Structure 1
Amino acid sequence: MTQLERTIPRYELGRYDQIILPDGLAYTCPRSLPDHYVLVQVGSNLAQEITFAEFEAFRRSPKFQHNRDYYSLGHVEARARSGVASVLDLPRDELAVVLFREACVEDLIDLHADGQTTIDDAAIQKVLGEIERRVTARGLSEHIVVVEDRRGEALERKVEKRRRYVTTTLTFRFPKARTLREWYRVYQTCGCLAYALRDRLRHCGNRVPRKNPDVLALMHEHVHNYMSETRPTQKACYKAFCRALEKSGFKPRAGEDPEAYQISFTTFSAAVRVLPKFEVCVARRGLPFALRRFKAVTQTFGAHRIGELVQMDEWQVSLMSLCVRSGAWKLMSLAERKLVRRERRWLAVVLDVASRCILAMRLSRTVTAESNLLTLRMMLNDKTAVAQAAGCRTPWDYTAHPLTLRNDTGPAYVSDRFKLATADLRILNVSPPAGMPELRPHIERLFGTIRTGLMGYFTGQTFANVTDKGDYDAEARASLTLDQLCDLMILWFVDVYHNIPHENLGGKTPRQRWTELEALYKRGPVPPGPHDQRAIFGITVRRTLNNRGIRVMGLYYLSPALVRHFRDHEEVELDVRIDQDDLGWISVRIGTEWHHAKCRTPGFDGVSAVAWQRSVKQARIDAGPGQHEARAIAEEALDRIRSSANAAHAQAALTGIVLDPKRVERIERGTIRTLEILDDEHGAPTDLEDLSRGIPVTGPAEPPMNDTLVQPERTSPPEVTDEDDQGLWQVRRPT
């Protein structure tokens, strides 16, 4: 079946019509040809022809305008008389007056057309009653009633226009014959346009300057003194003007009005208020502040897919928290609780712009490149286990390998470590100029939502600024410990924020928007696996390869590649990359290639270095002084890790220690020390030595445990040390 051709419409264009094409120029159409319009540009004699099809395409443009008879004499006079180009431009009160007058004139025109009257005062006077009846019957779209107003012996009839839902009442008196005839003349002359009947009360008032010019000049000089970096008040500027006026000697001469030499504070303040706001702000607060305050936001972020654009930033939480775990806090006395340090933590967040879902978050004492890398890594992995440990009912399964990452220009983001990690992930890292938070608007607004939506429930707030804080003692009113703050943040983000309708998502929740985008678009690149993440985010240290493998954190790692390398080179130092969140595997560089090596002790998959260090330390303390068997310590530490895996996982996700090579060495020297565990994956010893007598412990004979292993009971409350971001502590045990 053949497709029908589209019909191109032809329009009737008048010679006085105004036609504004998409190029922004105004044209008239003096004539039309069989298949063209002839358009002449206003203000010139340049003519051009446009086909009907081209004109139809122009008409569909949002920039196209067509005003009929715009250049006719009647329309020009109507615009000159009323000061507007449309009846819709009139104020509402004047619009009601104009519609009432138009109704009176139209009824007069109808009576004249029927031959019941002529256009003269005597004839119009005879039909005023009929016009009144017809106007009253019109309704004019609102309640109109006729009321009688007795003034002495005279009875005057008038129309009241009573608005619904508004307390004011507009009263229109019926015009006399002469006034109605004048309205008729204006209405006919101006092309029967209603807004031509607008009165000229807007021009009322004495507009002649009544103040002495010298006094006005002196006043404006002091008005501009308000624009000063010292930020004087209007009252101060006015008092300075009054003193200058007294010293100037300006006095009225004979016959002059004394008020011409007097300026009230109201007049002075009005002159200050009409100063350009931007210039005032520049003069009083500086150009950078003025640019931030008056900058127009025109750029939009057209992110339509998950991971197309993510924003990352950090915010100092506006809440003082107690640097102690909640379990230890309950065992403290009031005197010990007062000595616990209070501090504000930094919250790093990664936000997906398209869905407004939170991909990662982390609490830390300071903002560092290593802490931000852990936050970035959290974005790549499923965090449902973390949410469940915090008591959430909604899964936290939002993962993404973004295409573009937008962050600020802080030292943590411009460091080589962070730049190399984003390059390895093949993420386009964009750092907008400093001092322009409007280029990261979504995450900046999120921090405000956290402050008002979550922090407002607890005492110890620092509020938005010192003015809001006032004399409030935030440190003394701190009520949340770090682990409580951690759990509450996870619960609020996962179960509250993700399930609340978002205004910029059309009333949908972030989780609904995520599910909707999942069905429409592919998520993007596949996130890297565990080995790749260890290569990107891991910690590089130097360790020696021996016949047992490579020892890291008291654990041995071995692979076929390491066995071959040991046979060829014997003992040699190699670069080792460890994952602080998973001690089950390490990566070892042999030559120019990285090889993976598995832990010879089973059960360490998913065990973090921090959890292992804490458990070993606590196992040593619980065992007391004396010799310890390495296997017993390891088994007890692993049991402790498994029993508290959920809580440890949830807290480590947000507040865990950020390791580096130096801190790894300190942990090995201070806690692990001579501990060595050597098992194969099935628990059977594998070594050249005779291990029938148990697991060997290398190094010199271990002396009796001294006081450095079993710490005395503290009289001061435990707190987080500078060396350990979540420092271990020992509370009193009942004897």
Structure 2
Amino acid sequence: MTLVPRYELPIGSEVTLFQRKLVVLGQSDKGYEFSDPETGVPYSIPFQKFVDYLKLPGTRFHGGITPGANLVSERLGGYKTSKALSKEQQEIAKFNTSICKAIDLLIAARREENGNPKLKITARFLDQGSNRKFLREIVTTLFGQTVYLKLEHGGRSARWILYKGRTLLKYYRVYEALPSDVSPLDALVTLDHLKGNRTPRLCYELERLMFNAWNEFGLDKKGYSIANVRQHLEGLVGAANAERMRNRIPALIMPSNSSLKAFRDRLISPTELAVAVKGEREARNLRGRGSTDIRALLVGEYVEMDECKASLVISAKMKGIWYQLSNEQKETLKKIDEEIRTRLTILVMIDVASRMPLAWVISDQPKAQATLELLRMATRDKFREQRKYGCSGEPARATGLGHVKNDNGPGLRNSQTIAALMGCASMNTIARAYASTDKPYIERMFGTVESVLLKLIMGYTGRKPGELPGYDAKADGVLNVEELYAILTRFFIDEYPSLPHFGVGMGGRRPADVYREINDLRGQVRPMDSNWRRIHLGWEESVTPTDEGVRVFGGIFFNSDELQKQRDELRITGKVKVFVDPDDMNLATVVLPKSQEILEVQLQITAFADMTLPEILDLMAVWRKEDPVSKQIHEDRLVETRRQRRDMLAAISADRKILRSYSTIEECRKMARAVFAGARVAPVKQLSNTVEPGRLADLDHCERIVLADDGGLLDAESIARQEGIGREELVASSNSGEETPELSPRKATKKESRGARASEKSHGVLGRPEKVKGLK
């Protein structure tokens, strides 16, 4: 059977259970009897339940009605223990207690020496030289500091001097009469905190005016000083004194600035003053509580990210080529330099469980793209940066993001970032802006970065405007963005993880050690799937697939057997979506419009393997960059070669009398005027066995174009161009009339018989018949 403890609770003592005070009435065989002093309702609590209630938070025992229960509180002026008094008073209480214990040892020793068990002590007995030397040795041992027998000079001394016999006896009598529940330290402590004149020195009327001054004027958002409030109080006191003088009452005196400030401190607390003067938001930052709990146990379980403007001037000028630039290029680069100097922002993500930096980005425009780059860096390893910048430490590995907390900055709180986090299956919490207690870990990290790193870099501007009045940060801002990123990378990989961290849950351990310990004991959040990571965090391109795969960013090809198979089976002819990770271009993800599968394709250009997208684009830019002199030589060579080939072909055509297959501009203009001069095209058939006027002697019978009006045929010209006859001659001969007639192409579709009736033929001018006898 389990033993249930039964505690001795004095009758009349108070116990707080469930935030209610209960008075002990007694103890029965079943449990304790309590009573509610407010309602008088009795309660009976069994012994086992009372033991369980003691484990709950808020359960407290209060002093009961005993001989020494309220002695300490009454003597100390309301304080429950001497630990609440000043350090000097506590030292004196310890010194007095050591003296009383030494007197006990002195009495025991003298009674044993004299063989008188009833030996009594007196002030004269304690003033004896041998006894004082005995007490000094014992007190020095118990008290831990050197005690002297007498004071060599008058006044107050920093040395501990053994009291005279009368004072020693006084403290010992108090020590003897102490109840068992009272500490000697509380009974023998001096009451220096109760000394002094406690009566108010300001009259009620003056305090009323001081209250009005603070209540109506002093607690303003503009933050008036004590001197401003005192000036306002002078007006109030002056008006009151004028009234008092008329009634022959003594005038009120003006309080000092210290009295006015002390009166304000009695009226309101520092927190209330901060809310009244600086606003609720600033008061929460100044007086609000931070985080005093271990918020995460796994790496990646809870991360915080934030953006902060760097207190640093960075130059956009590239070293070594400034003298080679033209004046126009220099002016443009100066404008870019000024823009970067004013808009540089650092984005950082930190793991709360280990305090390890997961990602860091420098951006001149902290928008969604910069935040997505921060998320991509956090979910991949940082070994490329480690090798590139020569870091000796080990950066954080790729991890998933369980809970991401950020504020409502423009680059953090936007639709693209929130959609990406939702696609990553991460919980996103948007904290309040300008509320440092909502994100205490990342805010503290920015302070460390500025005080440990940025303050040492050339171009540091200070934490606030005008903090460094004698330093020209703009003139010393010689670092460019790439150099700053290299310094920042080495700090977050080599320096910060090796610094002792005294935050909540760290205990002075280093983030790198905590990261390894958590990884060995509890592990990390599993990383994201590579395809889903590229879809939600990568860059998207819409391209048309071909037999060579998909081509993105102008010249980077990806392909796979599965892509070609799906393309043939689904008969895909339109565009598909391609997602790439700009930090790893070896693979890409393709989403087909009619396919339920997500395809992974491989990079086809081996020269681009293990390169980032910016590096590939820079390489392609280098390839396409030409020397101006060499470019002009090649262009001149192309022009000369093409001119020589054209002249050679023209000479061959003229020598061999090859007809032209093209029309000149002037010929096209004349034909266009004839075609579009309001004419209509009529399908008129040519009369059989007839020719155009002026062509009677020609023996050929090819198709003709005749000029006609509504009345009939007027003139005609053959469309067959004879060798040596230009097109302009035909047009000129056909347009010899007053107005440009309508051109009507006449094409014979069927050869008519000779005996056809004249009425069935078209009206017009007939030529000379070939057989006159047949017409008779």
Provide TM-score, normalisation by structure 2: 0.67
Match of residue 448 from structure 1: 447
1:199/1:43 CA distance change after superposition, 3 Å: farther
Task: Give the secondary-structure state (helix, strand or coil) at the position aligned to 1:218.
Answer: helix
Question: CA shift at 1:174, angstroms?
Answer: 3.8
Question: CA shift at 1:349, angstroms?
Answer: 1.6
Which amino acid letter does the alignment assign opposite residue 144 of structure 1?
V
1:590/1:375 CA distance change after superposition, 3 Å: same
Which amino acid letter does the alignment assign opposite residue 357 of structure 2?
I
Which amino acid letter does the alignment assign opposite residue 268 of structure 1?
L
Task: Give the secondary-structure state (helix, strand or coil) at the position aligned to 1:284.
Answer: helix
Maintained 8 Å contact 2:578/2:590: yes
Match of residue 70 from structure 2: 76
Distance of 1:464 and 1:215 partners within structure 2: 43
Question: CA shift at 1:65, angstroms?
Answer: 4.6
Question: CA shift at 1:180, angstroms?
Answer: 7.5
1:138/1:565 CA distance change after superposition, 3 Å: closer
Residue 195 (structure 1) aligned with residue 183 (structure 2)? no
Which amino acid letter does the alignment assign opposite residue 229 of structure 1?
K
Match of residue 214 from structure 1: 205
Match of residue 601 from structure 1: 605
Which amino acid letter does the alignment assign opposite residue 399 of structure 2?
A
Question: CA shift at 1:213, angstroms?
Answer: 3.4
Distance of 1:467 and 1:52 partners within structure 2: 68
Residues 396-450 of structure 1: per-residue CA shift (max 9 Å, x gap): 2422112111112234334332223222221112222333332221111111111
Question: CA shift at 1:499, angstroms?
Answer: 1.5
Distance of 2:550 and 2:455 partners within structure 1: 51
Question: CA shift at 1:459, angstroms?
Answer: 1.6
Structure 2 unmatched ranges of 5 or more: 636-776
Question: CA shift at 1:387, angstroms?
Answer: 0.9
Residue 313 (structure 1) aligned with residue 314 (structure 2)? no
Number of residue equivalences: 604
Task: Give the secondary-structure state (helix, strand or coil) at the position aligned to 1:405.
Answer: strand
Distance of 2:587 and 2:194 partners within structure 1: 86
Match of residue 382 from structure 1: 381
Farther off after superposition, 316-325 or 77-86: 77-86
Match of residue 497 from structure 2: 498
Question: CA shift at 1:15, angstroms?
Answer: 3.5
Match of residue 237 from structure 1: 229
Question: CA shift at 1:336, angstroms?
Answer: 5.8
Maintained 8 Å contact 1:82/1:197: no
Maintained 8 Å contact 2:608/2:616: no
Q: Percent identity?
A: 21
1:308/1:574 CA distance change after superposition, 3 Å: closer
Residue 565 (structure 1) aligned with residue 567 (structure 2)? yes
Residue 514 (structure 1) aligned with residue 508 (structure 2)? no
Question: CA shift at 1:71, angstroms?
Answer: 1.3
Match of residue 594 from structure 2: 592
Which amino acid letter does the alignment assign opposite residue 616 of structure 1?
M
Distance of 1:27 and 1:72 partners within structure 2: 14
1:277-676 matched pairs, under 5 angstroms = 277-297=270-290, 300-326=293-319, 328=321, 339=334, 341-342=337-338, 343-344=340-341, 345-470=344-469, 472-504=471-503, 505-529=506-530, 531-546=531-546, 548-552=548-552, 553-560=554-561, 561-562=563-564, 565=567, 569=571, 572-593=574-595, 594-622=598-626, 624-625=630-631
Distance of 2:572 and 2:197 partners within structure 1: 105
Residues 557-616 of structure 1: per-residue CA shift (max 9 Å, x gap): 444443663697585444343443444444444333343444443333333333233222
Maintained 8 Å contact 2:498/2:510: yes
Task: Give the secondary-structure state (helix, strand or coil) at the position aligned to 2:284.
Answer: helix
Question: CA shift at 1:237, angstroms?
Answer: 2.5
Distance of 2:615 and 2:373 partners within structure 1: 16
Task: Give the secondary-structure state (helix, strand or coil) at the position aligned to 1:363.
Answer: strand
Maintained 8 Å contact 1:25/1:41: yes
Which amino acid letter does the alignment assign opposite residue 286 of structure 1?
G
Farther off after superposition, 42-51 or 552-561: 42-51
Q: Which has the higher contact order (CA 8 A, sep 6+)?
A: 1
1:201/1:583 CA distance change after superposition, 3 Å: closer
Aligned equivalent of 1:145, options 136, 148, 165: 148
Structure having the higher Rg: 2
Maintained 8 Å contact 1:18/1:71: no
Question: CA shift at 1:359, angstroms?
Answer: 1.4
Question: CA shift at 1:463, angstroms?
Answer: 1.9
Distance of 2:572 and 2:27 partners within structure 1: 100
Residues 375-413 of structure 1: per-residue CA shift (max 9 Å, x gap): 211222221122111011123242211211111223433
Question: CA shift at 1:367, angstroms?
Answer: 1.3
Distance of 1:181 and 1:465 partners within structure 2: 61
Match of residue 657 from structure 1: none
1:615/1:201 CA distance change after superposition, 3 Å: closer
Question: CA shift at 1:490, angstroms?
Answer: 1.0
1:610/1:65 CA distance change after superposition, 3 Å: closer
1:473/1:426 CA distance change after superposition, 3 Å: same
Question: CA shift at 1:10, angstroms?
Answer: 4.5
Residues 69-106 of structure 1: per-residue CA shift (max 9 Å, x gap): 74114433453233333354454444555567675698
The Cα RMSD (Å) is 4.4
Which amino acid letter does the alignment assign opposite residue 422 of structure 2?
A
Maintained 8 Å contact 1:212/1:261: no
Distance of 2:223 and 2:85 partners within structure 1: 40
Maintained 8 Å contact 1:186/1:197: no
Match of residue 748 from structure 2: none
Distance of 1:178 and 1:507 partners within structure 2: 50
Distance of 1:31 and 1:14 partners within structure 2: 10
Distance of 2:592 and 2:535 partners within structure 1: 14
Distance of 1:189 and 1:356 partners within structure 2: 51
Farther off after superposition, 366-375 or 338-347: 338-347
Question: CA shift at 1:304, angstroms?
Answer: 0.8
Aligned equivalent of 2:81, options 64, 86, 89: 86
1:38-49 matched pairs, under 5 angstroms = 38-39=33-34, 47-49=42-44
Residues 34-82 of structure 1: per-residue CA shift (max 9 Å, x gap): x744455667765545454444445556655556x74114433453233
Distance of 2:590 and 2:17 partners within structure 1: 70
Structure 1 unmatched ranges of 5 or more: 118-122, 152-157, 630-735
1:137/1:495 CA distance change after superposition, 3 Å: closer
Maintained 8 Å contact 1:312/1:351: yes
Maintained 8 Å contact 2:230/2:257: yes
1:522/1:592 CA distance change after superposition, 3 Å: farther
Match of residue 698 from structure 1: none
Maintained 8 Å contact 2:123/2:165: no
Distance of 1:7 and 1:202 partners within structure 2: 48
Task: Give the secondary-structure state (helix, strand or coil) at the position aligned to 1:25.
Answer: strand
Distance of 1:417 and 1:267 partners within structure 2: 58
Residues 251-299 of structure 1: per-residue CA shift (max 9 Å, x gap): 9889x99796353343233324444233433333333323332323367
Maintained 8 Å contact 2:570/2:594: no
1:341/1:27 CA distance change after superposition, 3 Å: same
Which amino acid letter does the alignment assign opposite residue 522 of structure 2?
Y
Distance of 2:594 and 2:23 partners within structure 1: 74
Question: CA shift at 1:518, angstroms?
Answer: 0.9
Distance of 2:379 and 2:492 partners within structure 1: 18
1:180/1:325 CA distance change after superposition, 3 Å: closer
